[in-house]
Structure 1
Amino acid sequence: MPRNIDMTALRSFVAVADCGGVTRAAGILNLTQSAVSMQLRRLEDSLGLTLMDRSGRTIGLTAAGEQLLGYGHRMLALNDEVFARLTAQEFSGEIRLGVPHDIVDPYVPRVLRAFSTEFPRVRVQLISAPTLQLRDMFDRGACDVIITTEATPGPEAETLTEIPLAWVGAIGGTAWRTRPLRLAYCSNCVFRPGVIRALEQAEIAWELVVESDGDSAVNAAVSADLAVQAVIRTDISRQHEEIAHGGALPDLGRTKIAMYAQGGDAPVLTRLSELVRAAYGQRELAMA
């Protein structure tokens, strides 16, 4: 007798595996954590297999779970394609989402995947630009939703979470020991004023040795141990390392991840905002 896999339970399983936990998966799926956990158990019971390794602090996949995950992605993609092609969709058009490059991964791809499943005829234009540029574009109506990294978001913004900043330099570098401290920054970097303020409050002399419109020159200077910079702790390049300065440099505190959405009650904007909120609102858990 043929046996069928519950697609709803399979979608929950794939979401948990991709997101690394039930909490973030529940936000993406717009379900409660208990509902997602129940669907995982139902899928395991129907297959007679243990798919999740729950022995550690985080949920992992068993060998059977790893095997099912590959099938699951293909099955869900085909399922979603069938519904997208064979059912009439009420919404179409374009929506513009702006995100700074340092917080695109890993959440924006998940948000876009979930959104395109629900609104296959709505094209999302993803704009990657610095926070200050995105704020200007939003104010001019050139972006519908933006995500920013800034110490003090505007009154119309919704703060999603906070993440720490870190001093970074060349691997094994010594530039952080020099005085005046040599800094490298993009001209439109939103973190630069706060970094300079922290140095001046700590009475540490500094000089800006690289100022560029793009990241390439800044990254090259830091990699060559000619300067240091401050970045989001989750966005440290493989060519750089967090500086273990032992208190020789000031603590930079945390910056906020905020969301701005244009007014109105359009379902596409509302849903995109919900997906962004669910994804980035759990970011701090991933850094614990």
Structure 2
Amino acid sequence: MSNPLDTALLHTFVAVADARSFTGAGRKLHLSQSAVSSQVARLEEHVGRALLVRNTRSVALTEHGLTLLGYARAMLNLSDEARTRLGGLGSYDGKLRIGASEDFAGGWLPDVMRRFSAARRGLLLDLTVDIGESLFQRHSDGDFDLVIGSRCFPSTKGVTLWKEPLAWAFSRHEPLPEGDLPLACFPDPCPFREGAVKALALANLPYRIACESPSVTGVRAFARAGIAITPIPRSAIDGELRELGVSEGFPELPDIEFVMMYDAETPAAVELAETILDDVAVRTGAAKRNQRA
């Protein structure tokens, strides 16, 4: 594999990986299914590895395909940024209004926004951090072009980015408090709070709201101190916290669904949504590989 990888082939490969379909990738790229298949075959021949597993219904990535996907996205992002710096991409006008919950805004989203903005000169990005339910309502009201947040209960609205369990978190070093369970929660409306309160009510366990905080940092601080128990996504439990479960008398909690909603009539919102989906695909693929390792 001494020759450089063809970015056109990489672009087609990424489109197939995202769509999990040659037909879907063809629609996105305005190519026939046979042309997409031919380009992927050329890329596989070039790297000397099978990248995709095909069946009658869908397409899946092989281990080598998952590895290449991350590199392919990085190479294409760099190519876009280079063309922008050299004036190869058109300028953008206007503002993109983005709403995100803190778990996104305090994590990987700013880096995605930086890369997205670098390739679109003149486009202003405005970010507002709020609670998921509030963001979804404000998007419906027309306040945002794109929002990402979480919810506990099923809905047909929005695109699911991923799901994970909601968990009870408490200090790793302090004894459990006695009496009514003290909870550290986000203010209403909050899917974490709603899921926790509903689970406790169904289990007939008395509780009290010991503290409210609009940030993950705040509720985790109370939990670390042994003051209150907090319902948060399992991935947010750090080394100072432990997860409480059925063995400690706590009811099971629902899964959290991380969701994106965007204005399909706003081209920049559609492009950012596709960028976010690409990034999530890489991250969830890497997480699954780490779990298997």
Partner of 1:227: 228
Distance 1:199 1:95, change over 3 A: same
Partner of 2:167: 166
Distance 1:60 1:227, change over 3 A: farther
Partner of 2:237: 236
Report how many aligned residue pairs link the two structures: 266
Partner of 1:251: 252
- One-letter amino acid of the structure 1 residue matched with residue 249 of structure 2: A
Partner Cα separation in structure 1 for residue 36 and residue 225 of structure 2: 48
2:185 matched to 1:185?
yes
Deviates more, 1:139-148 or 1:201-210: 139-148
User: Superposed, which structure 2 residues align to 1:248-287 within 5 Å?
Assistant: 248-262=249-263, 265-276=265-276
Distance 1:123 1:130, change over 3 A: same
Deviates more, 1:100-109 or 1:126-135: 100-109
Q: Can you give the 5+ residue segments of structure 2 that lack an aligned partner in the other structure?
A: 27-32, 52-60
User: Superposed, which structure 2 residues align to 1:80-99 within 5 Å?
Assistant: 80-84=80-84, 85-89=86-90, 91-99=92-100
Answer 1 or 2: higher relative contact order, Cα 8 Å, separation at least 6.
1
CA drift of 1:222 comes to 0.4
Partner of 1:202: 203
Any idea what the Cα deviations from partners look like across 1:190-236, whole Å, max 9, x if unmatched? Answer: 12133112212211111222223444442222001221111112222
Partner Cα separation in structure 1 for residue 96 and residue 282 of structure 2: 24
Partner Cα separation in structure 1 for residue 115 and residue 12 of structure 2: 12
Any idea what the Cα deviations from partners look like across 1:171-193, whole Å, max 9, x if unmatched? Answer: 24432x63311211232461213
- One-letter amino acid of the structure 1 residue matched with residue 178 of structure 2: T
Match for residue 63 of structure 2 among 35, 49, 59: 59
Distance 1:12 1:281, change over 3 A: closer
Q: Can you give the 5+ residue segments of structure 1 that lack an aligned partner in the other structure?
A: 17-21
Aligned 8 A contact 1:223 1:239 in 2 = yes
Distance 1:103 1:173, change over 3 A: farther
Aligned 8 A contact 2:97 2:144 in 1 = yes
Partner Cα separation in structure 1 for residue 158 and residue 49 of structure 2: 40
Aligned 8 A contact 1:92 1:119 in 2 = no
Deviates more, 1:124-133 or 1:224-233: 124-133
Secondary structure of the residue that 1:242 maps to in structure 2?
Answer: strand
Deviates more, 1:115-124 or 1:162-171: 115-124
Any idea what the Cα deviations from partners look like across 1:109-152, whole Å, max 9, x if unmatched? Answer: 67546744764442333333222442454355332111221234
Q: How large is the Cα RMSD of the aligned pairs?
A: 4.6
Aligned 8 A contact 1:149 1:255 in 2 = yes
Aligned 8 A contact 2:89 2:119 in 1 = no
Distance 1:124 1:222, change over 3 A: same
Partner Cα separation in structure 2 for residue 105 and residue 11 of structure 1: 30
TM-score, length of structure 2 as denominator length: 0.67
- One-letter amino acid of the structure 2 residue matched with residue 212 of structure 1: S
Distance 1:120 1:259, change over 3 A: same
Identity, % of aligned pairs? 24
Aligned 8 A contact 1:107 1:279 in 2 = no
CA drift of 1:254 comes to 1.9
Aligned 8 A contact 2:246 2:252 in 1 = no
Distance 1:236 1:36, change over 3 A: farther
Partner of 1:100: 101
CA drift of 1:271 comes to 2.9
Partner Cα separation in structure 1 for residue 153 and residue 88 of structure 2: 44
Distance 1:243 1:122, change over 3 A: same
Partner Cα separation in structure 2 for residue 247 and residue 24 of structure 1: 41
CA drift of 1:169 comes to 1.0
Secondary structure of the residue that 1:179 maps to in structure 2?
Answer: coil
- One-letter amino acid of the structure 2 residue matched with residue 231 of structure 1: I
Aligned 8 A contact 1:12 1:25 in 2 = no
Partner of 1:7: 7
Partner Cα separation in structure 2 for residue 202 and residue 239 of structure 1: 27
Aligned 8 A contact 2:149 2:258 in 1 = yes
